[in-house]
Every structure is written in C-alpha cells, then in structure tokens.
Structure 1
Amino acid sequence: MKHSPKPCYVIGVISVVVILGSVAECRRFNGIEYPAINCRKHSAVLTDFGGVGDGKTSNTKAFKYAISNLSHYASDGGAQLVVPPGKWLTGSFNLTSYFTLFLQKGALILASQDESEWPPLPVLPSYGRGRDAPDGRFSSLIFGTNLTDVVITGANGTIDGQGSYWWTKFKQNQTKLTRPYLIEIMYSNQIQISNLTLLNSPSWFVHPIYSSNIIIQGLTIVAPVDSPNTDGINPDSCRNTRIEDCYIVSGDDCIAVKSGWDEYGIKFGKPTEHVIIRRLTCISPDSAMIALGSEMSGGIRDMRAEDITAINTQSAVRIKTAIGRGGYVKDIFVKGAQLHTMKYVFWITGSYGSHPDNGFDPNALPQITGINYRDFTADNVTYSARLEGISKDPFSGICISNVDIRLSQEKKKLQWNCTDVSGVTKNVTPQPCDLLPLKTEAHDCPYPTDKLPIDRLQLQTCSL
C-alpha cells in the first residue's frame, strides 16, 4: 500500500527546546521513498539534536537524545530519525519501538573505538558466557531490546564498525569482554534491516536474538576475509525470518543460524524456526555460506534456502554440532546453489567441540535429520563431501539430488568421506559414498511449496 504524504510535524518537547532552542524544523527530502514494514507520522534529523557529521565529534549523546525524544511518538504514528550525509562518529546507542532509523545516501555512521562509549551487558542466557570472554560482553553499536516495529534502513547509507581495533585486541588475547556486534535486536517483534552497507564489524554484523517476524534485505556486508568471527547475519533463537538479496564478504560464516550453547541453550529452550534465505551471494574462504550451529542447543527447524551463490568459500551449507549440544537440526531444505571454487560442497561436523565450560552433559546428543539438498552445480571443488555423524548417534534422513560437482586440479582422492550418516542420493556426480545409496524413486529431494508466514508480509512504500 502506498503511504500518503504527511505534513511535516514539529517535534517539540520542553527539554529539547530548552537545550537546542529549536528542534526538528520542517524538512523535505525531494520525495525520497523507501519500503518498510510500517511508515511513520513524525520525522526529525540528527542535526536537530546536536549531531555533528565531521567524523571526529562524538554523536553518542545526539543519537541517544534524539531517540529518547522521538520515543514519545510511539503511540502517535511513530517517528523516523534521518541521518543526513556526513561522517557521524558514535558509540553504542539503543533504539525504541515504532521507530525508523534512516541513513541517507552519503551518510556514514562510524563506530567509536573508545571503549567507554560501549556499555557492558550481561551474558546471553542461552549462551551462559560471552563468546570471546566469560564475563559479559559489550553492547552492540545499534542495540534494542523488548521492541515492537523497528526499522533500520536507508538509501544505501553505510555503517562502519571500524573493527580493526577490536580484531587486534582479540588476536592478542586482550579482550576482557566479548567484542561488540554491529546490530543486535533482542526480545523483539517486527524487525526490518535493509538497504545498507555494513563494514568492518568488531565481531558479528547482524544478530537478531529471541525475536520474531524479521526481514533482512538488500544488505552489502564486507569485512576482511581474515578478520576474526565477522559473521554476516546470525538469526539466533528467532522465529519467522526472511533474508533476501544480500551480498556478504566475511572472515567467518556469511549466515549462521543459531539457538544457544550446550546446557544453557537446552535450558533456555528457544529454537530458531521458519527461516527463508534467498538470493544470497557469499565470499568466505575459511567458513560457510550458510552454517547451522555450532550453537544449536535450542534446536533449528524448517530452514529453507534457494537461489544462493558462493565464490571462493570453504563450504556451501555446513551443519556444526557435537556431543553436549543436545537440540536438533531438522527439516532443512536447500535448492538452487551455484558454487565456484570450494573446499567442500557438503559438510556436516559432529565433533565441533567448543564448549562454554565443563558443565555440558555428555549424554546430550544432537538430533540431525531431514536434511535435503537439490539442484547444485559446483566447479573447482577440492572435496565433494565430508559427512561426519556421531558414533551411536548417526545423522539420518540426508537426501541429495541433481548435483553436478566438477573437481579442481588439487582434488582429493577420497571425494565422499562419510561416517555415521544415512540417507539417499539421486543424479549426483561424483558418485556418493555407500552410506548414501542411489534413490530408486523418480522424485527429487523435497522442497516445501507452502509459503512461510513471513513471506506473506508485504512492505509499504514510505517517504521522508
């Protein structure tokens, strides 16, 4: 539905007027339109709250001040904060509900490298400790919790995490708290992150967690391929997530679907389910295009991916788990992959042994079943597959059909290395291992024809 133009609204709160004198004057942006889950009635610009876009002045207070005052409009059609062209240095700041953060073309948010501008947060309950260090973690650059209807978008504006400071500390084992993420939204519903360029996150880029009804579209995510743990998009204990039209260059997995770590994830018990990924392009020489796990102790179910491309990437879709994880990965469907220069096409790891502590239950065995891959083409491949289940806990229901793998000059003699797995294959070259015998039925591996609820959500056309 087209959002009809609204008159500009002056945002007048006594505290703002006292400090700034005048605020949120009427602005026009030459009819800029953008798609969003919801449009906003009120608008303001960061400069109305003291923002200085010189790349040197801290805007942390300006962002916090603007969002605090715009939060008053949550019950009156919501508000959008426009970041205009310029270089906007800032530390961590929190979003509010019924709110849009819009980065205009030419707007560059620069993450501060001053640790005092990154408040500490407690560890995530489904993890039990920080990923880098046990005692807590830094807030992400853009953070929100217990929100409804939040949009982070733009006209391909840029957010640069300036992560080199943090990567050096991590590599030198100097991190006392887990490095910040670029964007993290927790315990929230109706999230949109779209049409932005994200660069050089200190750690993971986009981390929705304990949330639902999430749309992530049109992101360009880039970090050096040797940067540590710079995962692109990590839906974590989330329900109904749609990831589309993203280009990711990463030092870790381009997309990693997660749901908690060992006994903490089992206790928290919140799975990730109903995820659709389409039109993804990934470059990650040391990691996966799409990883499931390794933190999957709350379970991962009903993940669908289609029309995906990997270039110079370690593996296409990798399942990572271990004894002690518990949980499950099931009902996974992938079709239509174009792969170029890969170490592995198919990789399942049952011995991914990193644990938060020694309290994991050795009897907590993961259930891996219902894994369906079809319609893959791959060239310049070293290994076709490494499929490693767990002794006395075999991974079952693996189906692979219509796959053409062309090998590199450095190809390994053993192309299909399979242990403790079972399933079937059809029309696959090179010939698969004996544990995945030829399927005699005429049908290919299944791919669901129904639409997920998040696919039914249509974006509105909004304007500045």
Structure 2
Amino acid sequence: MHHESLKTNHHSNHQSMTLKHKHQSMSDHHKTHDYKRSVTQFIFTHQILLTLLWTVGFLLIFIWQRSAVDRVLEYRRWAIPSRPIPKLRPFVLDLRDFGAVGDGFTLNTASFEAAIKEIKRRGGGQLNVPPGNWLTAPFNLTSHMTLFLAHNSVILGVDDEKYWTLMPPLPSYGYGREYPGPRYGSLIHGQNLNDVVITGHNGTINGQGQTWWKKHREKLLKHTRGPLVQIMWSSNIKITDITLRDSPFWTVHPYDCKNVIIRNVTILTPLSDAPNTDGIDPDSCENLVIEDSYISVGDDGIAIKSGWDQYGIAYGQPSTNILIRNVTARSTVSAGVSIGSEMSGGVSNITVENLLVWNSKRAVRIKTAPGRGGYVKNITFRNITLDNVRVGIVIKTDYNEHADEGYDRNALPVIDNISFSGIRGQGVRVPVRIYGSREIPVSNVTFKDLLVGISYKKKHIFQCSFVQGRVIGKIFPSPCENLDIYDDEGRLVKQATSDNSVDADYDA
C-alpha cells in the first residue's frame, strides 16, 4: 500500500512538473514571440531612423578607412627614409645651404643662382635638390655640373611671365616660333657648356604650364613660350632618372648639341589643351640617344628638327646619328615620333626601334613642305607596336607652315631611303599614308614584316602617292600599287604600276 501510494504520489508529482514545464515553455514562447514582434514593430516604425544611422555608420567607417590609407601613403612618402643621394662629383652642395625654402611659395631663384655660381667658381660640382617644392624663375646651369633631384623633390617654375628672361630667336628659326621677335628662355637653361648632368631619384621638374597654355589660347602673350629644359651649343649632356611635367612649350630641347643621352625619363602633360608641349625635340643635334622612357604629351612625343625654312638652310646644321629605343609614347594630337616639320638643315641616320605608341592619333610621321629644303634620309623604323592608333605611318609633304614670306618656294626637300620593318598593331584605322607630290617624291621606301589589325573597312587603308619603293615578303594589309613586290629571297614578284594618285579618304 505504502509503495503504491508513493508510486501514485510520484506520478502525480511528475504530471504536475510536466504541466508546469509546459506552462513555462508556453510562457517563454509567448515572451519570445512578443519580443520578436516588438523588435519587428520597432524596425518598421523606425526604419528611416535606422537607415540613417546605418548610412552614417558606413560613411564614418569609409572616411576612417580612407584617412587611414592616406596616412599610410603619407607615411610611406615622407616617413620612410629616402635613398641617400650619391656623391657624383667631388664637390657637393645642398640647395638649402643657400637659403632656399621648399614650401612651394618662396621664390628660390637667388639660391639656385648662388649655388651654381659657387660650382662654377670651383670648376664643377654637384647641386642636391632635397625633398620639397622649390619654386623658382629660370636659371642657368654651368659646365661640369650635376643637378640632382632627390626623391620627392620638385623644381617648380614660376608661372608669371615677367620672371622669364627674353632671348633672341634661335638662329636657325629666325622667328620666335609662335611670334616674331624675342622668345622666352627655358626654366632650366644652358649655353656653350660641357659635361652637364641632370639626374636624380625620380625627382620632378614642373613647369606649371597651365597658365601659359590658357594665355596662349586667349592670345594674351606677346612672345613665344619657353621650353622646360633647353641646352644650346653644348656637348656631353645627360638627362636621366627624372620626371618632367607641364612644360609651357616644348619640354626638353637640346639645340645644336653633341653627345647627348636622355634615359629613363617620364614626360607628362595633358593630352589636350596643352598646345605644343612636345616631349623631346632634338634640334640640329649629333650623336644623341633617347631610351627607356615614357612620354605622354599634348603634341609630338619626340620631334627631330633642324631649323625652319631659309633660316635653317642658312644655319646648315643637320640632326644626325640619333638612336631612339625602348620608348612608350602617347599623343592624341600628333605623333609618337616625328621628323620635322622644321628640318631645313637636314635629318639623317636615324634609328627608331622598340617603340610602343598607344591610344594616339599617329604613331610615326615625317612632315615637310616646299620651302623647307634640306633632306630626310637613311631613316630606320623597326619593331614598332601600334595599339589603337588612328594612323600608323605618315609621310606628309605639304605641311605648309612658314616663318615668314621670305622662304624660297623652290627649296624642295629630299626624302630618301626610309625603312619600316617589324611593324605590329591592332585597332589601327589607316596603317600607312605616304603622300609625296610631284615636287617632292618619296623615294626608296622599304616595308618588311608588317602585320597590322585594322579598324577601317574602306578600300584605301594603305595609301600612297608619288612614292617609289618595295615590299619584301608578305605584309598585311596589302600594299598600294606604287611599290614593287619582292619575295623573302629578294626576287622581284610584281613591279609597281606608274599610277601616282590615290583617292584619299582620310586626312592625316
């Protein structure tokens, strides 16, 4: 009896506890459901507020991340020690020792001039430009000098023309180039020098050309704009391992110089609205190398010149023995590499190899006109890559821009012995356009190993007039009828027709 009573009590207690747990569970379930419902209600009721809070939180995190990245970049730029400046001359000076302040506002012309005067007095030396923004008016270099631009150093050209020296026109131009009379000199200038080096740890020379370009467009200037760097009548010149940007006019202009090396430079200006901002313009130079460089500018990347019309003919100093290699260029206005149009003193023995021109109007161009006189001969283009270029190869003989009316209309240039090999490309509208004339025929042109993907489906994609020459082996696209066709062994396969006219449908 007692055992059954205990069993009955135990069963009763178990049922009671089970009912209690069920009630507790149902109570908890109702509480959870009420909680979820209240949270849901709260979210719907305060949706705009929560969205606003989430947006603000996200923006705060984004701003924090961005400022953190900026701090890291700033730290990397300034806190990480720069490479020590090498001692390249026995005598070394620091620009700061002459009172220069690199704040981008203080004018440091006197400091540059005093340091260079001391280098000249010592017979040579090295001027170190440390990190900072060193505003200056134009100044002159001296012989046996190295100008060294440290990492994060910037030489800034003052953009007020009243600080820029006026100089006589170049003798082979007889004209300021844009206006008659005197011209502005360059930011960094040198004449009759020997053994000059401009180098660095990729420091920058910045011409701040924006003001100049605007005034030029609005015709507010009375004289021709000045180059960024111009070295004249000098020898043994090196420009290496620096960036040059935003020149008022041509960027680097070696004039009547011998033994010049320009290597590992970056040259930048806007691709539009930066008029006449050529990258490098060798002018009446002999024995010059341009290599391992990147050029993206508002006119020709490289333009080889030798004087303008009767002035260039009288000056009579050609550009010769020039090697351009391992260069990437971009120009949406003109060409990657040009010869001319000022070539009146003659241009010969030029090699352009391993050149990439991308997203540009033209790749390589020879331009001249009646009245130029002179010659363009013995020119070799090899291993040229065209990527999205409107016109690949251009020879133009009617570039009629003259200094004045005193030019000799019977001074006809000679274009002879031009070779193109290893030409590759994609997205090219017109691969070749060679337009000689009855007055100025183009002779002895050779094409070999040309394969260019075209984007222009009309007939005349290889355009010729008054041109004589040959094609060796198969090329694409098919050449014009003006050229003899030879096989790879040099055997004549097809002789050119005598037709020297073409139905031109594109103005290059």
- Scaled to the shorter chain, the TM-score interval is 0.7 to 0.9
Q: Residue 365 of structure 1: SS of its match in structure 2?
A: coil
**Structure holding more helix per residue:** 2
TM-score in terms of structure 1 length: 0.86
Partner of 1:17: none
Letter in 2 for 1:170: H
Q: Which residue of 2 is the match for residue 116 of structure 1?
A: 162
Equivalent in the alignment of 2:187: 141
Matched, 1:367 2:414: yes
Q: Assess if the C-alpha contact under 8 Å between 1:308 and 1:337 holds in 2.
A: yes
Task: Give the aligned length.
Answer: 409
Aligned partner of residue 96 in structure 2, secondary structure: helix
CA-to-aligned-CA distance 1:85-144 (integer Å, 9 cap, x gap): 000000100000000000000101111012222110000000010111111111100000
Amino acid at match of 1:99: M
- Alignment map for 1:337-356 (pairs within 5 Å): 337-356=384-403
1:283: how far off?
Answer: 1.0
Counterpart residue identity of residue 349, structure 2: D
Contact 2:397–2:440 under 8 Å retained in 1: no
Structure number with higher relative contact order (C-alpha < 8 Å, ≥ 6 residues apart): 1
Please give the root-mean-square deviation of Cα atoms over the aligned residues, in Å: 1.5
Q: Secondary structure at the match of 1:429?
A: coil
Which position in structure 1 is the counterpart of 2:38?
none
Are the aligned partners of 2:85 and 2:150 in contact in 1 as well (CA < 8 Å)? no
How far did 1:411 drift? 4.2
1:90 — aligned with what?
Answer: 136
1:67 maps to amino acid: I
Contact 1:131 1:178 in 2 (8 A): yes
Residue number in structure 2 paired with 1:47:
96
| 1-structure distance, mates of 2:216, 2:100 | 31
User: How many angstroms does 1:286 deviate by?
Assistant: 1.7
Matched, 1:128 2:177: no
What is the identity, as a one-letter code, of the residue corresponding to 2:264? G
Within 1, Cα distance between the matches of 2:486 and 2:374? 29
SS of residue in 2 equivalent to 1:225: coil
Indicate the SS of the match to 2:241. strand
Distance change >3 Å, CA 375–CA 65, structure 1 → 2: same
Residues 33 and 421 (structure 1 numbering): CA distance in 2 closer, same or farther, change over 3 Å?
Answer: same
What is the alpha-carbon distance in structure 2 between the residues aligned to residue 395 and residue 114 of structure 1?
45
- Residue aligning to 1:335: 382
In the alignment, structure 1 residue 60 sits paired with structure 2 residue 109: yes
TM-superposed deviation, 1:345: 1.1
CA contact (8 A) 2:412 2:439 kept: no
One-letter amino acid of the counterpart of residue 331, structure 2:
S
1:70: which partner in 2?
Answer: 119
Residue 204 (str. 1) matches residue 253 (str. 2): no
Find the residue that maps to 1:437 and give its secondary structure. strand
* Runs of 5+ consecutive residues of structure 2 not aligned to the other structure: 1-81, 492-508
Work out which of the residue numbers 312, 330, 336 in structure 2 matches 1:283. Answer: 330
TM-score, normalising length from structure 2? 0.79
**Cα deviation, residue 441, structure 1:** 5.4
- Is the Cα contact below 8 Å between 1:389 and 1:419 reproduced in 2? yes
Partner SS for 1:69: helix
**1:92-241 aligned within 5 A:** 92-226=138-272, 227-241=274-288
Distance 2:423 2:143 in 1: 41
- Alignment partners' CA distance in 1, 2:490 and 2:293: 31
Instruction: State the secondary structure of the residue aligned to 2:115.
Output: helix
**1:294 alignment counterpart:** 341
Q: Which stretches in structure 1 are left out of the alignment for 5+ residues?
A: 1-28, 445-464
Using the alignment, how far apart are the partners of 1:389 and 1:67 within structure 2?
50
Higher mean C-alpha displacement, 412-421 vs 328-337: 412-421
Q: How far apart, CA to CA, are the structure 2 residues paired with 1:223 and 1:412?
A: 34
Greater Cα offset, 343-352 or 421-430: 421-430
CA contact (8 A) 2:309 2:407 kept: yes
Contact 1:241 1:276 in 2 (8 A): yes
State how far apart, in whole Å, the 2-side matches of 1:185 and 1:429 are: 42
- The answer as to whether partners of 1:280 and 1:307 remain within 8 angstroms in 2 is yes
Match of 1:376 in 2: 423
Over the matched positions of the two proteins, sequence identity in percent amounts to: 45
Match of 2:486, SS state, is coil
SS of alignment partner, residue 252 of structure 1 = coil
Q: Distance in 1 between matches of 2:439 and 2:297?
A: 35
- How far residue 30 of structure 1 moved from its aligned partner, in angstroms, is 6.6
Q: Secondary structure at the match of 2:110?
A: helix
Instruction: Letter of the 1:94 partner, please give it.
Output: N
Residue 332 of structure 1 and its aligned partner are, at CA, apart by 0.3
AA matched with 2:103? D
Partner of 1:416: 462
Kept after mapping to 1: 8 A contact 2:126/2:146: yes
Q: Secondary structure at the match of 2:112?
A: helix
Structure 1 consecutive aligned stretches of length 4 or more whose deviation exceeds 6 Å: none
